[in-house]
Every structure is written in structure tokens, then in C-alpha cells.
Chain A
Amino acid sequence: MDSVKIALTVNGRRHEREVEPRRLLSDFLREDLRLTGTHLACEHGVCGSCTILMNGQTARSCLTFAVMADGAEITTIEGLGSVENMHPLQAAFWEKHGLQCGFCTPGMLMSALELLRENPDASSEEIHQALAGNLCRCTGYQTIVEAVEAAAETMRGAER
């Protein structure tokens, strides 16, 4: 089980590391790069907490080996915004109470980000569908959908 050398860009920063082939991208991000914003719940692709962007598209980081991300551009929740400078999605989730415990939130935000980039005018039904692969055990989803709707409005306004 020889280690494999990989080089990838995470949130704009290039990293080179040696990894075991069985190293999941999720564990690579959290443990090797100490980017613990990506959350791990089910670890078999059901819950969506570990969703990240790989070359601009959402992916389950628990269903991706780090070696498969060699050469890729990864965006995690840490790349979305900061406490001082929140992304409109982050601000909207805060404003609309789109989270309670917050565990599923990083994955929700990454899925919502992909949706709004492709479909800035997403309807409530389209938001429901886009988030169907992200499970939340606290909120009942209503405030999450409202937060994405509010973020979409902000993002549309910013483009004008």
C-alpha cells in the first residue's frame, strides 16, 4: 500500500502531500489540511454533510479518494466566506435561522451554491430538489429553503 504523491488546490492554495490510496478526500481535508469545516456524518454518501466543490461541481468528499482529487481544484466551506466577510448564503442562513445545530450546514451551503450559480432564479421547488441529497435532523428544512431564497435575492441584487 505505497503512498501516492498528490498535488491539488484547495480554496486557492496549492498543497502537495503523500497519501495512502485509501485516504478519503474528506479525511484528507479535515485531518491532513486541518480544514474541519467539512463535516462527516454518515461516511457512506447518504447525508451530504461532506459536500465540497471539485472543479466547480459538488461532490461527496466521503465518496472520493484523495488520490482521485490529484490535480483538482477543491472549494470547501472555508473558501466560501469568513465571519468578517460572509457569503450571501452564509448571511442568509444566519438571518433566516437556516440552522440549529449547524452540523449539516456546510454541505447545505455547497449544494445551494452550485444551484444558485447555475440557476439564480431557482424556485422553491427547485431549491427543495437541489437540497434533497442533504439531510438535516433539526430544522424541518423550511428555514433552510427560505434562507436559500433570500440568498438568491441578495445575489441577484449584487449582480445588477
Chain B
Amino acid sequence: MKPAPFDYVRADSVEGALSALAEQPEARVLAGGQSLIAMMNLRLLKPGCLIDINRLSELDYIRAEGDELAIGALTRHTAAATSPLVAEHCPLMTAAYGHIANRAVRNRGTVGGNLCHADPASENPAVAIASGATLVLTSLDGERRIAAEDFFLSLYETAAEQNELLTEIRIPKAPANQGWSFQEVSTRKGDFALVGVAATLDCPNGTCSDARVVAVGVGERAERLGAAETAIKGAVVDEAGLAAAAAAARDAVDPPSDFHADSEFRRDLVFTLTRRALGEAHGRCGKGG
């Protein structure tokens, strides 16, 4: 299997990458390549030009800045998965990494590349939405920021323009009393999710004050399940409250059927995983991580 020929540009600065992007309307950005090269090998993609950003070490960092966690787009998954800063300020991401790919892919794949690939069954888009992340898109015209919730448009499609490079992911530090959970079912460990559910929960005194519930594997993109959030907000988090939120989540999705699982099974998984995720998040509330 051989990819189709392409022009190759190795960027040695962010500016260089942005100039190349502006000049090459056919170009794709090559970061870790763990999805892009697979699709090129299968000739599902035949980009005319690849702009290799792997030398841009200035985009490879994890920093705590004020009340936010800043992750450079070129940060490798292995670095994010094992980062004490991520574990402290976005434990949901650390939990999700228990389900993401395998070591060899995590060694090369990048946080930014994964988000821009926008696979509907990928875990990190759900983490970004559930944790209220902001994505920084940079072009020669400057910088703009977009909420993760507005970034994922559809299957492999994002709000990034052709001349924009995702440079940073900014995640509000999780409040010490907030609970979190990432639940997933996949056919084999490290496979993409059949269904995955990310949840955060604030529950100061037995009653839920705020929650986010995001599912993957249920449609064309990571879906925030507002109905489930509404169901649990203001409710006492007990078996009945969890079941009501899980039922609302199940009723809010219309997942696809494919070789691996039919729609009805996926909806059942949404119910079960939402109940588990909110339950586990509740158990972690108020424990300061």
C-alpha cells in the first residue's frame, strides 16, 4: 500500500507553516500522522501537499497558566497521558487516556492533530467539550479562539479554516470539588469507542448544581447531551436521579448502525455509560480530585 504522491514542506517555524498553509490550498498539516497517514495509505485521502509541523517544538508543552491549563497542539498523547499537570487540572483527560489507542500510536499522535481529525468516535473531543476547553487557531491574519463545543462540525470536519493552524488547547482548571468520569465500551482495548461518555459534575450538597455530559460514537461528531444535563441539574444525585439523566441521554441520541453495533445497542450503551459516568463523577465530588 502506497500513498499517492504529494509535495512535502517541512516547517521550521509556526510562521513558516502558516505561510505554506496560505500558499497551498490543497495542503494538509502533518502532525503525528497516526490517522492521516493511515487514510493516505488506504488512499481515502490524497492531499497534494503535506506541511510537516513535527519540528515545531514551540508547540509541544503543557503549562499551568493562571486558572487554565495550556496544552501545545503538538503535545504527544503519551506526554499528556502521563502529565502530573493534566492529572491535577484535567483529570477527565487522564481518565480518557485509559481508553485511547495503544502506546505506539500515543507516542506519535498529538493532542492537536487528534482534535483536528475530528473522528466521531475519538475520545479527546468529548474531553475538550466536557471540560469547557477553548481552542486557539492561528493564521497569518492573527489568532482566534473558539469553544471546543463549536469546533466539531461533522464527520472529520471542524471549524478550522484552510489557512488556520490549531496551536493551543486551553482548558479551565477543574474545580477541586468537581467530579469527573470517562466511560467507554469498545470491541478491543484501545479501539475507537462503540460509545464513550465523558461527564463532569458539581454537587456541593447532595444536589447537582452543574453537569456536562458528552457522548462519542453516537453520530457525526462528539455530542453534548443537554437533555441529560438538564435532567440531573437541580436533582438529588441518587439512583432515581441517575436513571432519569441516563434515560434522557438515551432518548437524545440517534446513533448509526454498523458492523460493530446496531443503533439500538448503542442507545443502550449511552444509557448505561451515562448512568455509570454520572455515578462515578458523583462519587468523586468534593474529594478535591
Contacts and interface: CB of A to CB of B under 8 A. Distances in A.
A9 interface: no
A6 to B, nearest CB: 11
B107 to A, nearest CB: 4
A146 interface: no
Given A59-B104, A64-B108, A45 B5 contact: no
A67 B6 contact: no
Nearest to B36: A63
B108 A67 contact: no
B52 A48 contact: no
Interface stretch (A16-24, A80-88, A96-104, A147-155): A16-24
Nearest to B1: A43
Given A20-B5, A22-B4, A43-B1, A58 B10 contact: no
Given A1-B5, A1-B7, A129-B189, A24 B105 contact: no
Contacts, number: 87
Contacts of B7: 1, 21
Contacts of A63: 33-34, 37-38, 41, 105, 108
Contacts of A20: 5
Interface in A38-68: 43-45, 48, 51, 54, 57-60, 62-65, 67-68
A135 B101 CA distance: 13
Contacts of A54: 107-108
Contact of A58 (B6, B34, B104): B104
Contact of A67 (B8, B103, B104): B8
B54 interface: yes
Given A48-B102, A67-B8, A132 B107 contact: no
B50 interface: yes
B107 A45 contact: no
A57 B78 contact: yes
A132 B191 CA distance: 9
B41 A62 contact: yes
A62 to B, nearest CB: 7
Interface string B126-147: 0000000000000000000000
B54 A68 contact: yes
Determine chain A's interface SS by DSSP, over half rule. Answer: mixed
Interface magnitude class on chain B: 20 to 34
B2 interface: yes
B159 interface: no
A60 B6 contact: no
A36 to B, nearest CB: 17
Contact of B104 (A1, A21, A44, A48): A48
B103 A21 contact: no
B189 to A, nearest CB: 4
B52 A60 contact: no
Contacts of A132: 102, 188-190
A73 to B, nearest CB: 14
A23 B34 CA distance: 15
Interface string A1-42: 100100000000000000011101001000000000000000
B3 interface: yes
Contacts of A120: none
Nearest to A114: B103
For the complex of A and B, the 9 pairs showing the least CB-CB separation, nearest first, are: A133-B102, A21-B8, A58-B104, A43-B1, A44-B38, A1-B5, A132-B189, A57-B107, A45-B38
Interface of B: 1-8, 10, 30, 33-34, 37-38, 40-42, 50, 52, 54, 78, 101-105, 107-108, 188-190
6 contacts: A1-B6, A22-B2, A60-B108, A64-B33, A115-B103, A133-B105
